[in-house]
C-alpha cells in the first residue's frame, strides 16, 4: 500500500477491511510517500498495533509511481503472492479468498469493484466492467487497476526496477499487467470484491470525463510545459504530447524487449508500439480493437496523435 497524507477516516476504514479478510495469513507493507513518522503513528493507532502491518518510506515525496516501486522492492523473496492496495478504498471480506485461487492459472488477476462516492456513499457505478483483452491492447488501455489486482511474487523479478519515464501517463499497475501478460497470463475475473472510492483527493479515478476535448487538452499541455521549462516551444510541446500519450507505451514495450529478448510476446509488442513501429500497422490494430470494444475510441485517437508527433520530439525523448 502506498500512503500519502491519508484521510484518517478513509484510511481507518480501509485498514479495517484488510484486517478482517477471511484470508488472514499476510503481511501489509505500507510505504509512506513523505511524513513517514506521522503515517507510522496513524497506522499503529488505527490497527491497535497489529503486527502484520509495518510502515516504510521516507520524508521525501517520490509520487505514487516511484512510491509503489519502493514498496514492492520491500516485498520478501519468499512471498507467494502480492496484493496492491490504495489507501482509501474498501475491501469486501472475501476479496482475497475469491481472488487468490486464480493465481494457480494466471500470474496476475484483477477483479471488479463498485464505484462509490465519498462521503455520501452514492453508487456511481455498480461494476467497473474490466474485461479480458489481447495483450496488444493493454499498452493503450489498461484493464488492471492496481487496487483490484493480485499477482505472483515472481512478476517482480521482471518488473523491478520500474521503467525510467517522465511521462504523466506512467502507472505501476499497467506495467505490472504487461509483465504478467507476456510471461504467463493476466486474467480479469467477474467477481465484485471491493468498493472503489471516489473523492476529491483521488490521484487517478474511475469517473473522469472520457470525452475527447482536444482544445482543452492542448491548453493544459501548453501550460504544463511553460511551468516546467519556462517556455512552450513547438519541439517542447511535441515532446510533451508524445510523452503523455504514445511515449509511455513505447517505454514499456522497449523495456520488456530489453529484459526478455527471446520472448515472442515482448517482441510482438515492441514491433507494434516500439521505436520502429509502423503508424499504419498500429492504426489498423487499434481500429480493430475499437470496433471490438476492447479499446475506447478516445484512447486510440490520443495514442495515434501522440505517436505521429514522435519525429518532431525525437531529440527530446532519446
- Residue 66 in any domain: the answer is yes
- Residue 32 in any domain: the answer is yes
Residue 150, domain CATH:
3.90.550.10
Indicate whether 166 and 241 sit together in one domain: no
In sequence order, what DSSP letters do the residues of 194-255 get, joined into one string? EEEEE-TT-SS-S-S--S--HHHHHHHHHHHHHHHHSS--HHHHHHHHHIIIIIHHHHHHHH
Of the residues 171, 198, 225, the one at which a domain ends: 198
- Residue 281 in any domain: the answer is yes
Half-sphere exposure of 32 (CA within 13 A, CB side): 20
- For residues 160 and 69, what is the distance between their CA atoms, to the nearest angstrom? 7
Which set of grid coordinates corresponds to residue 76?
Answer: 520478501
- Residue 205 in any domain: the answer is no
Indicate whether 190 and 299 sit together in one domain: no
Closest alpha carbon to 199 in 69, 37, 90: 90
Provide the pLDDT for residue 317.
41
Residue 44 belongs to what domain range?
A: 2-198
Please, is 27 exposed, middle or buried when counting C-beta atoms within 10 Å of its C-beta (0-12, 13-18, 19+)? exposed
Indicate whether 187 and 66 sit together in one domain: yes
- Residue 296 in any domain: the answer is yes
Indicate whether 189 and 280 sit together in one domain: no
Indicate whether 270 and 299 sit together in one domain: yes
Of the residues 153, 168, 198, the one at which a domain ends: 198
User: How many structural domains does the chain have?
Assistant: 2
- Residue 26 in any domain: the answer is yes
Indicate whether 163 and 48 sit together in one domain: yes
Residue whose grid cell is 479495517: 16
Per-residue pLDDT of the chain (318 residues; tens, 9 = 90+): 999 999 999 999 999 999 999 999 999 999 999 999 999 999 999 999 999 999 999 888 999 999 999 999 999 999 999 999 999 999 999 999 999 999 999 999 999 999 999 999 999 999 999 999 999 999 999 999 999 999 999 999 999 999 999 888 999 999 999 999 999 999 999 999 999 999 765 555 555 444 556 555 555 655 665 665 555 666 666 777 788 889 999 999 999 999 999 999 999 999 999 999 999 999 999 999 999 999 999 999 999 998 998 887 654 443
- For residues 89 and 114, what is the distance between their CA atoms, to the nearest angstrom? 10
- Residue 233 in any domain: the answer is yes
Contacts of 53 (CB under 8 A, 6+ apart): 15, 28, 30, 43, 47
Of the residues 170, 198, 226, the one at which a domain ends: 198
Indicate whether 35 and 72 sit together in one domain: yes
Indicate whether 251 and 180 sit together in one domain: no
Indicate whether 148 and 287 sit together in one domain: no
Provide the pLDDT for residue 226.
63
Indicate whether 189 and 221 sit together in one domain: no
Provide the pLDDT for residue 213.
60
Indicate whether 192 and 55 sit together in one domain: yes
- Residue 206 in any domain: the answer is no
What are the phi and psi torsion angles at 173 (to 5°)?
-70, -35
Indicate whether 23 and 168 sit together in one domain: yes
- For residues 288 and 171, what is the distance between their CA atoms, to the nearest angstrom? 25
Amino acid at each position: 500500500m502506498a500512503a500519502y497524507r491519508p484521510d484518517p477516516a478513509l484510511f481507518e476504514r480501509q485498514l479495517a477491511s484488510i484486517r478482517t479478510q477471511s484470508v488472514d495469513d499476510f503481511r501489509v507493507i505500507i510505504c509512506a510517500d513523505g511524513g513517514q513518522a506521522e503515517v507510522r503513528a496513524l497506522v499503529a493507532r488505527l490497527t491497535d498495533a497489529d503486527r502484520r502491518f509495518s510502515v516504510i518510506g521516507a520524508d521525501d515525496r517520490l509520487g505514487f509511481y516511484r512510491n509503489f516501486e519502493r514498496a514492492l522492492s520491500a516485498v520478501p523473496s519468499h512471498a507467494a503472492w502480492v496484493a496492491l492496495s490504495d489507501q482509501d478504498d474498501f475491501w469486501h471480506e472475501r476479496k482475497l479468498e475469491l481472488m487468490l485461487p486464480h493465481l494457480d492459472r494466471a500470474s496476475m488477476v484483477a477483479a471488479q469493484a463498485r464505484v462509490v462516492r465519498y462521503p455520501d456513499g452514492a453508487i456511481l457505478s455498480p461494476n467497473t466492467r474490466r474485461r479480458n483483452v489481447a495483450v496488444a491492447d493493454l499498452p493503450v488501455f489498461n484493464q488492471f487497476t492496481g487496487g483490484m489486482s493480485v499477482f505472483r511474487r515472481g512478476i517482480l523479478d521482471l518488473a523491478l526496477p520500474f521503467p525510467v519515464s517522465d511521462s504523466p501517463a506512467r502507472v505501476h499497475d499497467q506495467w505490472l499487467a504487461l509483465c504478467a501478460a507476456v510471461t504467463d497470463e493476466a486474467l480479469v475475473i467477474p467477481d465484485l470484491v471491493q468498493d472503489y472510492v471516489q473523492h476529491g483527493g483521488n490521484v487517478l479515478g474511475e469517473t473522469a470525463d472520457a470525452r475527447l476535448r482536444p482544445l482543452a487538452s492542448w491548453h493544459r499541455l501548453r501550460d504544463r510545459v511553460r511551468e516546467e521549462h519556462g517556455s512552450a516551444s513547438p519541439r517542447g510541446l511535441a515532446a510533451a504530447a508524445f510523452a503523455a500519450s504514445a511515449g509511455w507505451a513505447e517505454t514499456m514495450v522497449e523495456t520488456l524487449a530489453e529484459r526478455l529478448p527471446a520472448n515472442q510476446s515482448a517482441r510482438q509488442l515492441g514491433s507494434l508500439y516500439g521505436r520502429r513501429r509502423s503508424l499504419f500497422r498500429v492504426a489498423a490494430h487499434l481500429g480493430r480493437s475499437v470496433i471490438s470494444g476492447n479499446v475506447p475510441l478516445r484512447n486510440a485517437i490520443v495514442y495515434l496523435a501522440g505517436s505521429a508527433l514522435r519525429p518532431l520530439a525525437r531529440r527530446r525523448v532519446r
